[in-house]
Structure 1
């Protein structure tokens, strides 16, 4: 009995030591990490953390235990970040910078906290793009014409749509245009249709299934067959809580957003997983470039070389079966079809 007890205790201690070792390994510092850093305008939390940590998405683990940084997302230019050690573990401390204030009316803070990631690279995708399923797209009303028989309309014009609004109580609606269809490159399954925003509209009248719409703000000309969907405008999320994503089954990069051909750092991409797979904004995945197919010079067989890590990305917007993510690090050429794994 005593031997069994010692064995259980020993196993627990071994497990605890292994867990601590794994946590310490996860929080490895950069070889050339600074001992302190002064925040400047244009910094991001990811970039600041990357100066200290090999895995910058683990910054909440370093800051969450620090009472001086109760909210690590409220760090301003001029603040000083410095590194200390507590019980053998790295800890980031904050020393607030000196701010000179003058007595005048203020409608907002003089300085905004640095964002988690570069918002300028994803702002348009946060608010303007939408990925929906086929049934929702087919159920949405569609533009059938404009006033004075016009087939192309702009801001200030009136257009007519046919169908039933998905949210009949909302006066403010949005016109979207299907831009592409997402299918899984391996399974061939339909993942959804990407829509891009065309215009903000206001419902002026109903007549059976004919809807009168006044165009308020247009991004491009309104055309026949544009779809009417509830207004999905939302505040741009600047605070992300990164966490390692779980293993994905057949998780792949399926498209690059913004019309660019090559994928590099701070490019936005679409991936083949979404809310149905448990993804949330802030999930981080490693990108693995698929190995090349080569021919064995002796046996003549075609062999697939091992996949190699090419970077990391962070999810910033999720839909049912598709998500948008930002490439935070690229150490190799990244392409559509590259694999996603837990980081």
Structure 2
């Protein structure tokens, strides 16, 4: 069934097909003291705004009637006044009309539009980190060295790589293996994380040796660094949150920034990927590990129950590993904390 969405974001009427996300039987739960109106401020995200109204703010696409099949979502900007209304028994957010009778268009940079989530900390991880399994890593071309027998090279230097390079891409990225991921439960090797250190251009190929000139470098290029074609696909910058598949569970493997304690907007790696059906936008509830204390009466060592402590959204998937962004945190999170789908017990 088609809906007519009367969003007044630019005084346009938009005809939208139903969302492809499976409709939920349960009604969206509102906060007890949700505001009658909310004024959008700079720095807001749709997730943040929805948190003023919803108990589960990750369900903001439902609150806005967002259709992931439409390329341009309903833009809102700082200064817009939002209010809650009801459509077919479900709460929906709308932008308050300014009262003018004449249709008008807003002239404003799209950069000022309110995003669904905070993206500024994601771009590096979206483009500069990759995870390869051991088979793919073994097949990836590697750096032999630089001109004049250099073992360290930088921007402007020529390097030589051995292996079959995809010559459809003249620009190649140079990566350095940084860490291996081991499943804490099964001990399976999930893959190796590689960090981008440079960009290089293919100059010539002779047999299995490729000559490349380094164009940009963040760190020195070393022997045995890996050469991978630069991705030509557009980096995903719009995410539509939805609950991870029911009964999905995972574990936090590491923090991508290398800190020990995890908080809001920290990026982490988890031990499940596309093999388990995960996709960008899947949401998990984070549960902290229960502390171990000594029973004051019996002197036994007791492990307390795990507790809900935040939410995480997957933003990049590999075969056996995914990257997620901590969206909310009511307690300090740590490596080893568990994740469950919001529908795990529903």
Name the TM tier (shorter chain).
0.7 to 0.9
Which is richer in helix?
Answer: 1
Q: Is 2:207 the counterpart of 1:188?
A: no
TM-score by length of 1: 0.83
Q: Which residue number corresponds to residue 92 of structure 2?
A: 91
Decide whether the 8 Å contact of 1:115 with 1:238 is kept in 2: no
Q: 1:249 to 1:52 in 2, by over 3 A?
A: closer
SS at match of 1:120: coil
Offset from partner CA, 1:99-155 (integer Å, 9 cap, x none)? 775xxxxxx946542211111122211111111111111111111111122221111
Cα distance between partner residues in 2 of 1:219 and 1:96: 49
Q: Which residue number corresponds to residue 31 of structure 2?
A: 30
Cα distance between partner residues in 2 of 1:42 and 1:300: 50
Decide whether the 8 Å contact of 1:160 with 1:212 is kept in 2: yes
Q: 1:328 to 1:40 in 2, by over 3 A?
A: same
Cα distance between partner residues in 2 of 1:248 and 1:214: 49
The 5 Å alignment of 1:242-281 reads 242-247=241-246, 251-281=250-280
Q: Which residue number corresponds to residue 7 of structure 2?
A: none
The 5 Å alignment of 1:187-336 reads 187-232=186-231, 234-247=233-246, 251-294=250-293, 302-336=301-335
SS at match of 1:137: helix
Cα distance between partner residues in 1 of 2:114 and 2:216: 30
Q: CA deviation at 1:297?
A: 6.0
Structure 1 unaligned runs (5+)? 1-19, 102-107
Cα distance between partner residues in 2 of 1:124 and 1:331: 26
Q: CA deviation at 1:243?
A: 0.3
Structure 2 unaligned runs (5+)? 1-22, 99-103
Q: 1:110 to 1:262 in 2, by over 3 A?
A: closer
Tell me which structure has the larger Cα radius of gyration: 1
Decide whether the 8 Å contact of 1:274 with 1:322 is kept in 2: yes
Decide whether the 8 Å contact of 1:63 with 1:72 is kept in 2: no
Q: CA deviation at 1:244?
A: 0.8
Q: CA deviation at 1:286?
A: 0.2
* Greater shift in the superposed pair: 198-207 or 88-97: 88-97
Decide whether the 8 Å contact of 1:117 with 1:238 is kept in 2: no
Q: 1:228 to 1:111 in 2, by over 3 A?
A: closer
Q: CA deviation at 1:73?
A: 4.7
Offset from partner CA, 1:207-259 (integer Å, 9 cap, x none)? 11111011111111111111011112653422111001124565101101112
* Greater shift in the superposed pair: 82-91 or 129-138: 82-91
